[in-house]
Amino acid sequence: MSEPVLALEGLTVTFGSARGTARVVDGVDWAVHPGQTLAVVGESGSGKSMTVLSATGLAPRGAKVTGTVRLLGEELTAMSDADRRRARGRHIGFVYQDPMTSLNPVMTVGRQVSEACEEHLGMSKQEGRKRAVELLGLVGIPSPEERVDNYPHQFSGGMRQRVVIAMALANEPEVLIADEATTALDVTTQAQILELVAGLQERLGTAVVWITHDLGVVAGIADRVVVMYGGRIIEQGKVDDLFADPAHPYTQALLAARPQPGVRADRLLTIAGTPPLPTELPPGCAFWPRCPVRGDARCEHEEPPLVEVAPGHEVRSFYRADPAVTEERSA
Amino acid sequence: MTTTGSTESTATDVVARVTDLRVHFPVGRGSVVHAVDGVSLDVRRGETLGLVGESGSGKSTTGLALLRLVHVTSGTVEVAGQDVTTWSRRQVKPLRRRVAMVFQDPSASLDPRLTIGASIAEPLAVHGLRGSKAERRERVGELLDLVGLRPDMADRHPHEMSGGQRQRVGIARALAGEPDLLVLDEPIASLDLSVQAQIMNLLRRLQEELGLTYLFISHDLAAVEHMSDRVAVMYLGRIVETGTPEQIYRNPAHPYTAALLSAVPTADPARERERRRITLHGDIPSPVDPPSGCRFRTRCPAARPDCAEKDPDLYQVEEGHRAACLYKVEAVREMRAGADRATG
């Protein structure tokens, strides 16, 4: 297999507070390869967004980040702030949930895309504008030579997200990081954006890290899936293995909690309680207080290690999910 | 003009009915948003009517009109057989006891300075339901218990609760006046996946126990299928299709419904790979200037020249199943064939 584009090893992020130390991300390892899509799944507070922000040097103030991050083989974590910023700008594209966090409302979209080309690829203003028109066309904005002079407010939500993708691609990044990039969009618009990214990925060989809570989106786009809970990876594997044979009780419960198309069950299987706050993590397995399997005292006091259950399929749990639940669900 | 209900439904089994409802908002410079533009529907006692659509479809505005929370431009709103369209503010007050609303964001609908107990007691006082403070306190405890919260949570403030707990409080508050109809506007949209299932189960249980009627408004097609007895699909201020979940999800008769369903990703990688998606082009047009004829024609893969001329009525596909398409099921068949060619 090719060298990974972005690889995390033992990434840990902590915040000190009056109530003690909060471990928001705890020992996360994953890697994404050229042309591949890695989906990072979790609910609120799982640490899925914080992992990527911290890995790329965008952690909020007060965060203590440890571990190793390699971008194209170079150790991002060992660089000076300036070098890290340069490497990030040159090799990574970001797309967030709300396009307006990335767009400047008082600047034309053309200038914004062009600026990225000038800054990271050393293009002139003229070249930058030409490239901006090309990129806006590439992401499916109709009549880009006219729209290039429009402001963000003149675009719909879906079109704004296309502009952000054009900006993210301006520097021809090796890796695209999409954090809930389609969550705020309507489902028909989401389908357009997913198709757009898949097409671009195929053409440009970009690696994609897709952070989402939506298991449907994951099933459609991912090669590999990482499931996070309470700041830790609790399961990871190839998309088919993970959906067909979820090994962690949490992954299984998450899959079972969604209504199944064509099946009108009286009741949905639920997970009791709510995801834990990073300041209130239990000492043992983070999922133990909500776990339907509820093993024993070991679960309560000892953190289970991540172990391989099948080639490339790892799970952090002393007890496996109950296969009967998965069978009943797919029956 | 057509209704979602069969024409035989009598006044007694209809909790709420809107007829040819229009809600237009002026937005300055003579422009008008046609948020709801000719919607007719019945909500029958004891059922859940799912109202599904994307942003700008008018589904939430339709819900607000049932409580007279928006100005009705034309058409009628009836609740329990009474025409409430032109009721005064004073008259509308008791209406909000019969029809109550649960909003998407429970933290925005609860006063952060009030305890949970005070928030739930408020409608009791407004509607003069429990005279004394002690009686109200007791009723608050009952309501909390009903939605699966411990009665001692009455003393907490909203910020001390999780999103799911706050939504339970929102539901308890809506139930305080013992309403006939609950308008649930995206009640699970802002909750974590594991909590969404809890709230859907709670709503189902309350419906069984209390005989409630729901208008379940959501953009989440899977949740609507799970929750509803009947479904109405909205697009740009109109109902474009209505029927049972089986009819709508297995055999959509309107091209928009078919496209919408084909866009919803399912948690099944093999199915996703084989999926033949009907991709719609462009965005939903502006409700300020909706297209002539069929409103969906500008994005419809099966549109023909006629579609710009004629505004299609809902026709009967089969008993209980109606759709508003000039070319009936032919259009959906044609679209599907197109999607097969594109991916096959």
- Is residue A242 a part of any domain in this protein? yes
Select the residue from A187, A196, A251, A290 to test the B interface by mutation, using most B Cβ atoms within 10 A.
Answer: A187
Mean pLDDT, contiguous 10-residue spans, chain B (344 residues): 47 87 92 95 97 93 95 96 93 90 85 93 86 90 95 93 93 94 95 92 96 96 96 97 97 95 90 83 86 95 94 96 94 83 57
A245 in contact with chain B, both atoms CB, cutoff 8 A: no
Quote the tokens at residue B286. 């502006």
A219 in contact with chain B, both atoms CB, cutoff 8 A: yes
> Is the pLDDT score of A307 beyond 80?
yes
- Single out the residue of A280, A225, A307 nearest to residue A37, CA to CA: A225
- Considering only the beta carbons, identify the residue of B196, B204, B283 that sits closest to A158: B283
Buried/exposed code over A175-186 (b: 16+ C-beta within 10 A; e: otherwise): bbbbbbbbebbb
Domain extent, residue A311, equals 228-330
The mean pLDDT of A82-103, rounded to a whole number, is 92
- Is residue A303 a part of any domain in this protein? yes
pLDDT confidence of residue B2: 44
- Is residue A318 a part of any domain in this protein? yes
Backbone angles phi and psi of B235, in degrees to 5:
-145, 125
For residue B5, give the amino acid letter.
Answer: G
- Is residue A28 a part of any domain in this protein? no
Contact B319, B309 (CB under 8 A): no
Quote the tokens at residue A130. 């030409």
What integer best gives the mean pLDDT of chain A?
91
Q: How many domains does chain A have?
A: 1
DSSP string covering B213-262, please? EEEEEES-HHHHHHH-SEEEEEETTEEEEEE-HHHHHHS--SHHHHHHHH
Closest residue of A to B274, CA-based?
Answer: A220
The upper half-sphere exposure of residue B72, i.e. CA atoms within 13 Å in the direction of its Cβ, equals: 25
Quote the tokens at residue A267. 């009741």
pLDDT confidence of residue B32: 94
A261 in contact with chain B, both atoms CB, cutoff 8 A: yes
Q: Could you report the per-residue pLDDT of A277-290, keeping only the tens digit for each?
A: 888 888 899 999 99
Taking any CB pair shorter than 8 Å as contact, residues of chain B touching chain A are 54-55, 162-165, 192-198, 200-201, 204, 219, 221-223, 225-226, 245, 249-250, 259-260, 262-272, 275, 277, 279-280, 282-284
The mean pLDDT of A25-29, rounded to a whole number, is 96
- Give the minimum alpha-carbon distance from A73 to chain B in angstroms, rounded to a whole number: 31
Complex ipTM over 0.90: no
Q: Where are the domains of chain B?
A: 250-344
Select the residue from B59, B105, B153, B194 to test the A interface by mutation, using most A Cβ atoms within 10 A.
Answer: B194
Q: Which residues, at least 6 apart from A195, have a Cβ–Cβ distance to it below 8 Å?
A: B277, B279
Quote the tokens at residue A86. 């340069």
- Is residue A71 a part of any domain in this protein? no
- Is residue A129 a part of any domain in this protein? no
DSSP string covering B173-219, please? HHHTT--SEEEEESTTTTS-HHHHHHHHHHHHHHHHHHT-EEEEEES
CA geometry: angle A64, A68, A71, nearest 5 deg: 115
- Is residue A13 a part of any domain in this protein? no
Residues of chain B found within 8 Å of residue A44, distances taken between Cβ atoms = 192
A327 in contact with chain B, both atoms CB, cutoff 8 A: no
* Cα B284 from chain centre: 19
Quote the tokens at residue A198. 């898949």
- Is residue A306 a part of any domain in this protein? yes
- Considering only the beta carbons, identify the residue of A189, A219, A254 that sits closest to B265: A219
A94 in contact with chain B, both atoms CB, cutoff 8 A: no
> Is the pLDDT score of A264 beyond 80?
no
> Is the pLDDT score of A329 beyond 60?
no
Contact B104, B199 (CB under 8 A): no
- Considering only the beta carbons, identify the residue of A157, A188, A265 that sits closest to B263: A188
- Single out the residue of A294, A56, A66 nearest to residue A174, CA to CA: A56
**d(C-alpha A227, C-alpha A195), whole Å:** 23
Quote the tokens at residue B114. 């009030």
The mean pLDDT of A307-323, rounded to a whole number, is 91
- Single out the residue of B21, B50, B66 nearest to residue B242, CA to CA: B50
Q: Could you report the per-residue pLDDT of A156-215, keeping only the tens digit for each?
A: 888 999 999 999 998 889 999 999 999 888 888 898 889 889 998 999 999 999 999 999
The upper half-sphere exposure of residue B76, i.e. CA atoms within 13 Å in the direction of its Cβ, equals: 12
**d(C-alpha A295, C-alpha A316), whole Å:** 13
Three-state DSSP string of B36-98: EEEEEEEEECCCEEEEECCCCCCHHHHHHHHCCCCCCCEEEEEECCEECCCCCHHHHHHHHHH
The mean pLDDT of A290-303, rounded to a whole number, is 88
pLDDT confidence of residue A327: 59
Residues of chain B found within 8 Å of residue A142, distances taken between Cβ atoms = 282
A257 in contact with chain B, both atoms CB, cutoff 8 A: yes
pLDDT confidence of residue A138: 86
